[in-house]
Structure 1
């Protein structure tokens, strides 16, 4: 399945397949899909059904908690948690669930998502964790520093490791692995220190989805790793709406199937948010404010299982960093503001993990940043400095591997990617099939981080 085939996600499923899927009857849905694939059908429908098989095979493994198991998970960890609370969280779309064979099943990440988004539940944890959020304080200190010094520069040394889980490791067989690497953007002096085993190919620094590519015979307990360093340099932006140029560019304002689509609802929402405003900087801030004030942060199922990510976010008023960034990009593009994707890792001494955000372009300032996820966290916590900062600015604690959405690797991956839109943790495949996300582990290690004077 090639990345160019993703455009067929915009094709509707046949009614009988859709009925089976929505009821969680995945076995019969696959059966109906296979019956159609064995017939003479249009190319667009064939591609859509092939994509749906991938989606179903991914999604059915992500919802494992029955209602009773989910209730027990909460009651074992949250003081005085009731059945009625779980029902409310389910009905209010705060606890992600689907139907499987007519039975409610909760996503593997539902509990962690609740703890991230609900301070009241955190306060009722039976085993209280350290309340002092050192990571948040670290980011707040950077905001203050960047405002005072008008810039920030850091040296960052990281290592990422990937290992196939024991029961999934087919030792003695050829394996291909793509692991993200820092790209040339706000990052400079990039050095690939070591790859283990030796990478067969490392893509160019300017590649929109940069990776180290491994191709070898899998050995017992084999670990793939990339170790690299780079400098992150960022200026503090203070764009003035009064100084915005009359003439604005039109690049990066197009649709990009299947995710950046100007659907009827996206158009209506954008028009309601923007109103009669014509200044692009104010329009972008209106979009940012809408998302940060109205979209609840939530862990998400695998992106490849969501047919239209920005519309999902707009309709359900929830989403994680990438989902919020895609809604921002889509609304900006529809309203004539150039916007694009960036992603990779968020890196501090207290946490290293995948993260996505956006860029938007306004003359005479050029490309500016927007991180609705971090900004929304500031808004919810009453931290207006943080809320304002992440519109037009970004902290330097990032590893940027991807500058475009849905871009092919170099060399390309043969089988369907577990995340065809992004690449933060890596992708693997054997000669005969892709290796699914749940079949391998990834570890991030910050070796050194220091401020550059």
Structure 2
């Protein structure tokens, strides 16, 4: 959190929770809620901090013995000393909550992503399940080749039909109650995706938010039935373009910050705050570099070195960019938020994009990336999680930086900003307070969290 004088009880509750002092935070929240004349926004924020504690405990479910048992499934002869050493190195994420050490439920698997030593100790290494676009391939080559040959930045399109399905578990809400659902839905973005068309929905009559909604959704309602899951689905088509900008660093100049660009170099608490640690990290990476593109390259390369690992739910993290700076690992959204914070700190406009990625095969996932503004090129894509590619012999070396100025045609953007309101508005706090990729649900009794429903994407590539 930013350091400032604040009479609100919310920052104090946030700090206590981040320090693992849940009982003290709970008592302080009770005391604050009892105050007469408490503003409704403060009340809602305090109630969310109580909900955040509940969500943290859903993520941190393993005690020490259980965490060791999970690791031993892959390293049968794991010693206590070995586990303790990796733990002390920060490789097995844990949280001390009211004096009790609890491990993140994905930490045992993350260990093998974060430690080559641990990975080498596995009895039966798991096969890789990476996105094929994370490795330089013919799609990247064709995209660059066609962009340069045609002098167009949007090329090699894919046309795709997608069905998103959300299934609320049986009896998650009382029978007869109306469940409200918001499923992610793409916006038309010039040069990136167009021809967005709703094909079908279950139930029929989905209400698609206007294209101006920065986190666009298709809204539906359905009554729950006794003993039956409640299904929501939306099917749509669109055309997606790969992008490539052949950036010449010698032509890049500092951007003139207009009122339209000003928000994209600004802090935006809680997740983009120019802390002392962020400033020190930035200075260490950039040194005396003045060229905006070279600065962006240095920051991109540095964040790219942060290992990927499965993440806690974003709503449980009080500051995503600061968390990633110190955690020693991060997933796509955490890495993107850190890079955005660093770019903005250096006067380079940066903004969020996120959605869903797919492939010619079976790979698919939710994913976050972004855009940065470089004069005279304008807004260009960036995906620091896919990071720097490794050109093969005979490849143009420029392909190394494909994802700093380019993007593949195997992703659908649902969101052009983070933490934006829905249309129609959601009454209760969202399950995902930053992104919108899996869906959101509620009924008159409250929000339905991720442990109460499941989601699925299916897709079909169609002729252009």
> Shorter chain as normaliser: what TM range?
0.7 to 0.9
What corresponds to 1:436 in structure 2?
A: 449
Given candidates 160, 166, 177, the residue that maps to 2:164 is 160
What corresponds to 2:84 in structure 1?
A: 87
TM-score by length of 1: 0.88
RMSD: 2.9
1:334 aligns with 2:351: no
Q: Secondary structure of 1:351's partner?
A: coil
Query: What are the superposed Cα offsets for residues 126-176 of structure 1, whole Å, 9 maximum, x if unpaired?
Result: 444446968358763322222333332111221111111235243321111
Query: What are the superposed Cα offsets for residues 399-446 of structure 1, whole Å, 9 maximum, x if unpaired?
Result: 100001111011111000111111010100011211111111111112
CA spacing shift, 1:230–1:334, aligned 2, 3 Å: same
Q: Distance in 1 between matches of 2:463 and 2:80?
A: 49
CA spacing shift, 1:134–1:310, aligned 2, 3 Å: closer
Given candidates 25, 33, 38, the residue that maps to 1:37 is 33
Query: What are the superposed Cα offsets for residues 257-293 of structure 1, whole Å, 9 maximum, x if unpaired?
Result: 2212222222232233223222211111111111112
Contact map agreement 2:351 2:370 (CA 8 A) in 1 = yes
Q: Distance in 1 between matches of 2:25 and 2:195?
A: 51
Q: Give matches, 1:183-202, under 5 Å.
A: 183-185=187-189, 186-202=192-208
Q: Secondary structure of 2:35's partner?
A: coil
Q: Secondary structure of 1:400's partner?
A: strand
Contact map agreement 1:274 1:286 (CA 8 A) in 2 = yes
Q: Give matches, 1:145-156, under 5 Å.
A: 145-150=142-147, 151-156=155-160
Deviates more, 1:127-136 or 1:73-82: 127-136
Q: Distance in 2 between matches of 1:132 and 1:173?
A: 40
CA spacing shift, 1:11–1:273, aligned 2, 3 Å: farther
Contact map agreement 2:16 2:22 (CA 8 A) in 1 = no
Deviates more, 1:266-275 or 1:189-198: 266-275
Contact map agreement 2:187 2:414 (CA 8 A) in 1 = yes
CA spacing shift, 1:193–1:18, aligned 2, 3 Å: same
User: What count of residue pairs does the alignment treat as equivalent?
Assistant: 438
What corresponds to 2:267 in structure 1?
A: 255
1:107 aligns with 2:104: yes
Q: Distance in 2 between matches of 1:387 and 1:51?
A: 43
Q: Distance in 1 between matches of 2:282 and 2:9?
A: 20
Contact map agreement 1:114 1:121 (CA 8 A) in 2 = yes
What corresponds to 2:382 in structure 1?
A: 370
Query: What are the superposed Cα offsets for residues 322-342 of structure 1, whole Å, 9 maximum, x if unpaired?
Result: 011011111111111111000
Q: Distance in 1 between matches of 2:51 and 2:363?
A: 32
Q: Give matches, 1:269-284, under 5 Å.
A: 269-284=281-296
Deviates more, 1:284-293 or 1:423-432: 284-293
Contact map agreement 1:184 1:206 (CA 8 A) in 2 = no
Contact map agreement 1:209 1:409 (CA 8 A) in 2 = yes
Structure 2 gaps of 5+ residues are 1-5, 148-154
CA spacing shift, 1:120–1:450, aligned 2, 3 Å: farther
Q: Give matches, 1:415-426, under 5 Å.
A: 415-426=428-439
Q: Distance in 1 between matches of 2:131 and 2:52?
A: 38
Structure 1 gaps of 5+ residues are 1-6
CA spacing shift, 1:11–1:287, aligned 2, 3 Å: farther
Q: Distance in 1 between matches of 2:411 and 2:70?
A: 34
Q: Distance in 2 between matches of 1:170 and 1:405?
A: 32
What corresponds to 1:235 in structure 2?
A: 243
Query: What are the superposed Cα offsets for residues 216-257 of structure 1, whole Å, 9 maximum, x if unpaired?
Result: 212322211111111111232220011124553341212222
Give the C-alpha shift of residue 93 in structure 1: 1.9
What corresponds to 1:312 in structure 2?
A: 323
